[in-house]
Amino acid sequence: MRALLRWLLLVLVAAAALQLFFLARIAMAAAIDPESTTFQRSEAWRIASEKGRLPWRQQWVPYASVSDNLKRAVIASEDDGFTGHDGVDWEAIEKAWERNAKAEAQAAKRASRPNAAPARAPKIVGGSTITQQLAKNLLLSGERTLLRKGQEFVLAFALERMLSKRRILEIYLNSVEWGEGVFGAEAAAQHYFRKPAARLSAYEAARLAVMLPRPKYFEKVPNSGYLASRASTIVARMASAQLP
């Protein structure tokens, strides 16, 4: 019994130490630009292991050096309630759960038909905010578990309380993936449009924003009809996006 209690105590101490480590990283990010994120390091390792090389494009630029077009496009596309929520948009999560449940039910119905062809797994729609995405990329692994999701919520709340909305968006825009080995707004603007992030037009910014959920896929299909049509939709919504 004592051995079990000792193990439980060690687990609790380790969990507390991990949380303190995360909080220290977030506190540092308030004043120091992160050199890399957990996601970037894991991607670097994957690319180096698979291809024997490390293509890495990233250049940190301050908030003011990123076009407002891109800020508005990312908010309109990824998190239109960014300036108003506390890190988690519960309404968006509820809607995502409903869409996912509906998609799974439809897939199961198709699969139950006689002689039905094997159905592809339904696309899972998320409800993550920009803050949650930053928490995941900056500090966590890419695994999909309830424990990891719970930790993501905790870190999102911590980010919102320790950093300003402007700083959260600045770090996100400088570290998010926009293609294989392409990280941050400046690298993406140079890679796709041969211009600095400060000079992105509304449509160019919208195309980059639409790429975010599947950047490596859209990097390979730049002439995608979906990419073009969705970008036009985002352009129309950008005027209502509130900047921090």
* Averaged pLDDT for residues 16-24: 86
For residue 1, the model assigns a pLDDT of: 72
For residue 126, the model assigns a pLDDT of: 56
- For residue 69 the two structure tokens come to 């077009």
Q: From residue 23, give the alpha-carbon distance in Å to each of 13, 141, 157, 163, 226.
A: 15, 16, 11, 11, 39
Query: What is the C-alpha separation between 179 and 56, in angstroms, rounded?
Result: 10
Condensed to tens digits (0 to 9), the pLDDT of residues 21-36 reads 888 899 999 999 998 8
For residue 103, the model assigns a pLDDT of: 53
Instruction: Check residues 91 and 203 and name the one with the higher pLDDT.
Output: 203
The dihedral formed by the CA atoms of 239, 85, 179 and 51, expressed in degrees to the nearest 10: 180
Domain boundaries, the chain: 37-84+164-244
Instruction: Check residues 173 and 147 and name the one with the higher pLDDT.
Output: 173
Condensed to tens digits (0 to 9), the pLDDT of residues 157-188 reads 999 999 999 999 999 999 999 999 999 999 99
Write the burial class of residue 41 (CB in 10 Å: 0-12 exposed, 13-18 middle, 19+ buried). Answer: exposed
Instruction: Check residues 120 and 13 and name the one with the higher pLDDT.
Output: 13
* Averaged pLDDT for residues 196-200: 97
How many Cα atoms occupy the beta-carbon half-sphere of 94 within 13 Å?
A: 3
* Averaged pLDDT for residues 185-202: 97
Return the minimum-mean-pLDDT range out of 12-16, 124-128, 188-192.
Answer: 124-128
Condensed to tens digits (0 to 9), the pLDDT of residues 75-93 reads 999 999 999 999 888 776 6
Overall residue count recorded for the chain in this entry? 244
CATH of span 37-84+164-244: 1.10.3810.10
Percent of the chain topping pLDDT 70? 85
Please, which residues have CB within 8 angstroms of residue 190's CB and are 6 or more apart in sequence?
A: 57, 59, 196
Query: What is the C-alpha separation between 151 and 164, in angstroms, rounded?
Result: 20
The structure tokens 């979906």 sit at: 226
Task: State the pTM of this model.
Answer: 0.86
What radius of gyration, in Å, describes the C-alpha atoms of the chain? 20
Three-state DSSP class for 19?
helix
What DSSP assignment string belongs to 127-186? ---HHHHHHHHHHS-S---HHHHHHHHHHHHHHHHHS-HHHHHHHHHHHSB-STTBBSHH
Confidence class of residue 147 from pLDDT cuts 50, 70 and 90? confident
For residue 106, the model assigns a pLDDT of: 58
Confidence class of residue 130 from pLDDT cuts 50, 70 and 90? very high
